[in-house]
Amino acid sequence: MSATTVSPEILNTYEMVIGLEVHAQLLTKTKAFCGDSTTFGAEPNTNTSPLTLGHPGTLPVLNREMVEFTIRMGLATNSSIRPVSMFARKHYFYPDLPKGYQISQYDDPICYDGHVVIEYENSVKETIMKRIGITRIHLEEDAGKSIHDLDLERLVDLNRAGVPLIEIVSEPDIRSEKEAVAYLTQIRQTLLYLGICDGNMEEGSLRCDVNISVRKKGAEKYGTRAEVKNMNSFRNVEKAIIHEFQRQVAIVEAGGTVIQQPRMWEAGEGVTRPLRSKERAHDYRYFPEPDLPPVHVDQAWIDRVRATLPELALARKQRFIAEFGLPMYDAAILTVERDVAQYFEDCCMALTERTKERFKLVSNWLMTEVLRILSEKKISIAEFGVAPQAIAELVELFASDVINSKVAKEIFPDVIAGKSPKAIVDERGLAQVSDTGFIVEIVDRILTENQGEVDKYKGGRKNVFGFFVGKTLAATKGKANPKVVTQILQERLDA
């Protein structure tokens, strides 16, 4: 059934109901149930031992680090941690799964009953905070990768087989594509802050299944959901949701029923399609994994993990607003990555005069200069290599009018190259001139040389003022203090 278009008025009488299942690859050094390496990008089929290959007679051994990472995520999402949880076998037959089953958790996942608070701006720019329930977080192992873009050959790379995953299942609390993206952003950020997943969607370390149904606004009963599998970018999640909403409303409006089925997103065409029935005729025949004992997590372990949790993004953002006086916009950008947030704090701590005005200047400098360079060079703040002290020194040079921000920008490449801002300013004689007598001389010369412009200004063309400021600054090679220049020009011209 293809989606015919539905008018916006009709769409507006429906609401969407969304629940997300997020799969996150854990950054453990070794696989979930054996010692094979998990490094991404290794030669195909080199991170494989008889265990990964599912040879008969091999036995799984539980990776403690993976359990610890899952407890971290559980605590960060306000979940309860189950003292005793079990593994189960989920059976299906596919070339990327040599054992013929995936070790997962079924009845008693390790984390349950959690929630996160998302924050986003609605269409009228109000900040909305909303609680989204987390039904469960369970542990499982990933399958290998089959590569079928060659005509007749089908290849399989088992490096990924057995890499630990957590699946984070949300309650159907999400009501719009905006909320879905805010939720995913929050989950991804939490994983990154905890240092348990690299969050790289292109490489598949973070994948998401979108469950979506529609119902008439005001209705209580949920509609039948479709499940769009394996989304690998936020942008696609957003588009797939908008498309599915329209498709399902069209079906319901035409008197049909939505079928519960897995679908896939065709990014090129911008539509979802049912997965071929062969790919979804699953009877997983779950049963308890006999080769692994139950996982015991005692209170002492939970307490130890809790004590090592970092401050998470939302809390840090709120603290940046309260403690450093940053606008919400700045605080949000500076807390996207934990290392950037830390860098900002380190710069602020390195200031000799710690005032809100200077914190804001640091924020401006990071947002406009530093983050731009990071994205241009595609490097992380750790690879940036400029000491926070150097940023603080630079900011203080223009905060105290020793240089103006134009000069600050000019010398920044040298600061990145490792020179101290103060040393550069001294060596190159860049300190700006606030000496009134010197500036007055230059201003007077410029006014005499440009009598025509002066007449225009006096005749009411006030925007000529900028021309004089520009000329004066140029005549001092950018070194004159713009505030002093402006003041003197005003005295001369408006007299």
β-bridge pairing 262-266 and 271-274: antiparallel
* 169 vs 305 by CB, closer to ligand ADP: 169
- Helix (H) or strand (E) run with residue 235 in it: helix 234-253
Interface stretch with ligand ADP, choices 118-126, 166-174, 405-413, 472-480 (CB under 6 A):
166-174
Count of residues touching ligand ADP (by CB under 6 A): 14
**DSSP structure class, residue 338:** H
21 contributes a contact to ligand ADP by CB under 6 A: yes
Least distance in Å: CB of 8 to ligand ADP? Answer: 22
List the one residue from 213, 272, 335, 363 that touches ligand ADP (CB under 6 A): 213
Nearest to 79 by CA among 115, 105, 107: 115
236 contributes a contact to ligand ADP by CB under 6 A: no
Alpha helices in 325-435 (DSSP H): 328-334, 338-349, 356-365, 371-377, 381-384, 388-399, 405-416, 421-427
Least distance in Å: CB of 20 to ligand ADP? Answer: 6
List the one residue from 30, 170, 190, 236 that touches ligand ADP (CB under 6 A): 170
Rounded Cα–Cα distance for residues 182 and 175 (Å): 11
List the one residue from 171, 198, 253, 401 that touches ligand ADP (CB under 6 A): 171
List the one residue from 162, 172, 199, 388 that touches ligand ADP (CB under 6 A): 172
* 136 vs 317 by CB, closer to ligand ADP: 136
List the one residue from 225, 239, 243, 358 that touches ligand ADP (CB under 6 A): 225
Least distance in Å: CB of 281 to ligand ADP? Answer: 14
96 contributes a contact to ligand ADP by CB under 6 A: no
Q: Provide the token pair at 252.
A: 């319901």
275 contributes a contact to ligand ADP by CB under 6 A: no
Query: Is the Cβ–Cβ distance between 171 and 11 less than 8 Å?
Result: no
The residue ranges of DSSP E strands in 244-301, in sequence order, are 262-266, 271-274, 287-288, 295-296
Least distance in Å: CB of 292 to ligand ADP? Answer: 21
| 87 three-state secondary structure | coil
Exposure of 129 by Cβ count < 10 A (0-12 exposed, 13-18 middle, 19+ buried)? Answer: exposed
Least distance in Å: CB of 282 to ligand ADP? Answer: 10
Tally of helices (H runs) and strands (E runs) in the chain = 19, 16
Could you give the count of Cα atoms lying within 13 Å of 332 in the half-sphere of its Cβ?
Answer: 11
Least distance in Å: CB of 264 to ligand ADP? Answer: 15
List the one residue from 52, 211, 236, 404 that touches ligand ADP (CB under 6 A): 211
The residue ranges of DSSP E strands in 164-311, in sequence order, are 164-170, 206-216, 226-231, 262-266, 271-274, 287-288, 295-296
Rounded Cα–Cα distance for residues 247 and 239 (Å): 12
Q: Restricting to residues 313-352, name those near ligand ADP by CB under 6 A.
A: none
17 contributes a contact to ligand ADP by CB under 6 A: yes
* 22 vs 484 by CB, closer to ligand ADP: 22
Output the residue with the shortest Cβ distance to ligand ADP. 19
* 155 vs 219 by CB, closer to ligand ADP: 219
DSSP 201-214: TTTTSEEEEEEEEE
| 227 three-state secondary structure | strand
Nearest to 343 by CA among 379, 308, 309: 379
Interface stretch with ligand ADP, choices 61-69, 170-178, 275-283, 320-328 (CB under 6 A):
170-178
Query: Is the Cβ–Cβ distance between 44 and 53 less than 8 Å?
Result: no
List the one residue from 111, 169, 295, 390 that touches ligand ADP (CB under 6 A): 169
Each residue 399-438 as x (binds ligand ADP by CB under 6 A) or -, in order, gives: ----------------------------------------
Residues that bind ligand ADP (CB under 6 A): 17-21, 169-172, 211-213, 222, 225
